[in-house]
């Protein structure tokens, strides 16, 4: 019974939204408006703003909804995400997931730290983040080849609790940092190397 009520309430909300938004820009048009910050077709050349190109639809929709509902801390994305309907977010996700994955390979990194980071990744992260975190099917954000500062900020947010992480990740991170307090910095250099 309860389920039915929720469902029809959702349905009603959905209908209201579609009535309110008479204009429906195409996926391409929506995706193009993001390019000024995230790069053409979501391929970022900056070292702090992440690439969106080639990420899975599930990950992109989840991220946008989390920003929209203030469930994920951000500087600007919370303000931006609130400007879009669920349909528009799905549409953008379709656009970006269809682009080739973009590795930002021109970032400076510390080679020694990157090598240590590669080992840490294999040991603690690779069971969920396969292919050095560049496999969209994982439904996770891009790791290897993503903007270095973004990786640093994201790991810091997971670590200090500003952003929730899955139980398994929490356990692994704890274990990793107990063994190596500098582990996050090493991972950032590894991912930033794009290797």
Partner 1 sequence: MSKQNRRSFIKTIGLGAAAATTAAYTPFAIGGSTKKVVVIGGGMGGSVAAKYIRMMDKSVEVTLIEANKDYYTCFASNEVLSGERSLDSIKFGYGGLRGHGINVVHDKVTDIDARARKVTTASGQSFAYDRCVVSPGVDFKYDLIEGYDANVANTEIPHAWKAGAQTQMLRNQLKDMKDGGTVAICPPPNPFRCPPGPYERASQIALYLKHHKPKSKIIILDPKPGFSKMGLFTGGWERHYGYKTDDSMIEWHGTPKGSDDNVLDSVDVKTKTVTTGFNEVKADVLNIIPAQKAGKIAFTAGLTNDSGWCPVHGDTFESTIHKNIHVIGDSAIQSPLPKSGYAANSEGKVAAAAIVALLNGESAPDPTYVNTCYSVIAPGDGISVAMVYAFKDGKIIKVKGSGGLTPGKFDAKLREREQYYGYSWFDNITNDTFG
- Backbone Cα Rg of the chain: 18
Does 29 help bind partner 1 (rule: CB under 8 A)? yes
Residue with tokens 């599930």: 58
Tokens of 51: 């690439």
What's phi and psi for 37, nearest 5 deg?
-100, -40
Does 153 help bind partner 1 (rule: CB under 8 A)? yes
User: Measured between alpha carbons, how far is 137 from 133 in angstroms, rounded to an integer?
Assistant: 10
DSSP annotation string for 99-141 = SPP---------HHHHHHHHHHIIIIITTTS-GGGT-GGG-S-
Binding residue (CB under 8 A) for partner 1 from 24, 70, 71, 164: 24
Does 13 help bind partner 1 (rule: CB under 8 A)? no
Does 112 help bind partner 1 (rule: CB under 8 A)? no
**Applying CB under 8 A, which part among 8-16, 25-33, 108-116, 171-179 lies near partner 1?**
25-33
Least Cβ distance, residue 18 to partner 1 (angstroms): 14
Binding residue (CB under 8 A) for partner 1 from 9, 11, 12, 48: 48
Binding site for partner 1 (CB under 8 A): 21-26, 28-30, 32-40, 44-49, 75-76, 79-80, 82-84, 88, 147, 149, 153
């Amino acid at each position: 019974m309860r389920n039915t009520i929720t469902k029809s309430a959702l349905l009603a909300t959905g209908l209201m939204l579609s009535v309110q938004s008479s204009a429906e820009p195409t996926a391409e048009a929506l995706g193009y408006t993001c390019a000024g910050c995230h790069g053409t077709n979501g391929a970022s050349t900056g070292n702090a703003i992440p690439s969106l190109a080639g990420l899975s639809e599930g990950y992109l929709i989840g991220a946008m909804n989390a920003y929209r509902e203030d469930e994920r801390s951000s500087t600007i994305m919370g303000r931006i995400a609130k400007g879009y309907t669920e349909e528009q977010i799905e549409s953008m996700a379709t656009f970006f997931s269809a682009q080739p994955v973009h590795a930002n390979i021109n970032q400076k990194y510390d080679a020694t730290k990157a090598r240590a980071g590669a080992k840490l990744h294999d040991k603690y992260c690779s069971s969920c983040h396969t292919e050095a975190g560049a496999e969209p099917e994982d439904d996770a954000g891009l790791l290897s080849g993503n903007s270095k500062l973004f990786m640093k900020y994201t790991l810091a947010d997971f670590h200090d609790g500003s952003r929730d992480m899955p139980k398994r990740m929490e356990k692994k991170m704890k274990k990793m940092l107990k063994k190596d307090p500098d582990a996050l910095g090493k991972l950032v250099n590894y991912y930033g190397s794009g290797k």
